Amino acid sequence: MQNLKPDLHFEFSAALWLYPGKAAWHFVTVPKAISEEIKFFTSANKTAWGSVRVSVCIGQSQWNTSLFPDKRSGCYFLPIKAEIRKKEKISPHDEVSIRLDVLV
């Protein structure tokens, strides 16, 4: 069973962006300072591709997903699925307020 670790709760705003590839993946980049803290506290919990399980809240939508590390920027990418984008009426370049809890 996963436990929510209270010190791994974050709130931030960031722009939604579209991955430049064939698939229409949409992401938010987790700010560098938050990404570094997440990496520090989850380094013992290695997973496939370095992903980190999280619970996310945007507007009235809440779901569980994974963050994925980007080696170039040193930040994590948070995928935002179509269902959430439609429900919350968000598009690429929109600033999104996010509550994120790391599940460890």
Structural domains for the chain: 4-103 (2.40.30.100)
Q: What is the pLDDT of residue 1?
A: 43
Query: Residue 26 forms beta bridges with which residues?
Result: 18
Instruction: Going from the first residue of the chain to its last (104 residues), give the mean pLDDT of each consecutive group of 10, the final group possibly shorter.
Output: 65 96 90 95 80 97 97 97 97 98 90
Q: What is the dihedral of CA 76, 65, 61, 84, to 10 degrees?
A: 80
**Tokens 């507007």 appear where?**
59
Q: What is the pLDDT of residue 47?
A: 76
